[in-house]
Structure formats: structure tokens, C-alpha cells
Amino acid sequence: MTKLLIGSFLSAALCISAAPATRQDMLVSTDWLSKHLSDANVVVLQVSANRNAYDAGHIPGARFVGLPDLVVTRNGVPNELPEVPALKKVFEAVGVSDNTRVILYGDAAVLPATRAYFTLDYLGHGDHASLLDGGLEKWRSENRTLTKDAPTVAQGNLTPHVKQEIVMQFDAVKDATGKRGQSGTPQLLDVRPSADYSGEKGSHIPTAKNLNWMDSQVSKDNQTLKSEPELRALYDAAGIKGDTPVATYCNSGMQASQSYFTLKYLGYDVKMYDGSMSEWNAKGAPVEK
């Protein structure tokens, strides 16, 4: 009995030690932000599809970045990364420099903000970027100050250090489908709703597992991330293990950016297939039901 108890304890300890460490600084609370709005090196960015919500009332000092400035359509595939000089210009225009701590948030949707995080990570600035947990909706629900005034912004100076390795390309994804279970092969994670993954009209990339990105939020309308134990349980139940690289994808690289952020926050080795199903289907690659 004693040996069994010791064995169980050791097994549990090994499971705990196998879990990657959470990157706590990737997520900030509304309380944290309210105390750091005046910090000289903090730049707050509201990222949205258009300026309507920003002009109606935003967090004091926040600058606006339009989602259309962060994505392009390339070879018929939507939401691809623009060229590096264009991205550098976008972020410098809102005051982002090499030493800037960037806090990102969305309005009614979190996806523009997580897409912006992925973009900054691609540029090598991810270690200086964080997501506001709950976004504008949480800030507003707490009756915190909003303003319609746009701040005066000094030009930034950002030096890109491009991380090509976080963007999984078509050939690498296709190669991964032929190496099911082999050590070091990224596990593909389809983050779309299950109906898109395997429903009557749905299909997915062979070998991919499925976990809807929205399941990591408290609710459809509450953009706050679930607790760390809840998140780890979700990914574990989906078959995503902490010692295996993961590549997220969706239809066009938007939903996948939220799961990319969440997995990186949890300490996973993660990348994103930016072309996603749009490119996969356009190239006539095989799918599974």
C-alpha cells in the first residue's frame, strides 16, 4: 500500500512538473491598467475593425489601430500578414518603440486584439505585449473612466526582429499530417466550432484535433479568460499536451490567434497556420470529416 501511495504521488508530481509555466505577464487586469495608464513606457491600443466603438468612448490614453492595417489578402487568402515595413509603420505611428510595453484590447470582440498580439509577436515584440483581460467591455462594466479624446502621439521607433518560426506554412502543415504522432511534430489544433470541424458540411485538416477558441472565455459575451486550471483541463481533454508543439488554425487566421495567445500564455510551444482552411482548401489539400 505504501509503495502504491508513493508511486501515485510521484506520478502526480511528474504530471505537474510536465505542465509548462504560465507566462503571467501576457495578461493584465483592469485594476493593473488603471494604475499604469500614466506610465511613460506603456502604450494602450484599442484594436477594432473600425473606429466606431473607439470614437464612442475608449480607455483614456488609448490609441486606435484598425484591423485592416494588420492584415492583407494575398493570392486570394484573406487575413495574411502584411510586409514587415508596413507593420513597422503602423505600430510606430501609434507610438510603439523597442522599450514600449503594449497593452492590447478589443471592443465587442477579442479577436482583433489577439490578432494584434500575434502580429507583435511575429515582429519580435511579443515579450513586451499583453492583453487586457476582459477588454473594453469589462472596463466599462466596472464603471471606469472612458473618453472620446484621442491622445497626441509621438512617433515610435520599433526595430523588428522577425520570428518566422511562429508562422507555420502550407508545406510544413502538409508534412505534419504525414507524421502523425512522431516526436517533435506539431499537433494541429482546429479552433473553429465543432460544426465547422466535423459537422454535416464541415471538414478539417487530417490529424487535427478540435477545441473551439470561445471555450477558453468565461462566456460568449465575457471575454475574460477562464482560470489557468480550467484552461489546462480544456486543452488536456482535447488531447493537447504541454510537451508537444501546437499549431493553431481556423478559417483565415483570426480565431486561431486567440488560441495562439491562450496557449502561449499557458507556456506551450505554439505557432499558427495563418493561411488556415482558406489556403488549405484553395490548394486542394486533403481533408477529413
Q: Where are the domains of the chain?
A: 24-162, 167-282
Fold of 167-282: Oxidized Rhodanese; domain 1 (3.40.250)
Least confident of 16-25, 167-176, 208-217: 16-25
What number of other Cβ atoms are within 10 A of residue 282's Cβ? Answer: 13
pLDDT digits (tens, 9 = 90+) for 38-59: 999 999 999 999 999 999 999 9
3-state SS, 23-34, equals: CHHHEECHHHHH
Distance CA 129, CA 116 (A): 9
Decide if 157 contacts 100 (C-beta within 8 A). Answer: no
Check if 24-162 and 167-282 are the same fold.
yes
pLDDT digits (tens, 9 = 90+) for 182-216: 777 899 999 999 999 998 889 999 999 999 999 99
- Residue 286 φ/ψ, nearest 5 degrees: -70, 150
Is pLDDT at 6 greater than 70 in this prediction?
no
Q: Report whether CATH 3.40.250.10 matches the domain 24-162.
A: yes
pLDDT digits (tens, 9 = 90+) for 209-228: 999 999 999 998 899 999 99
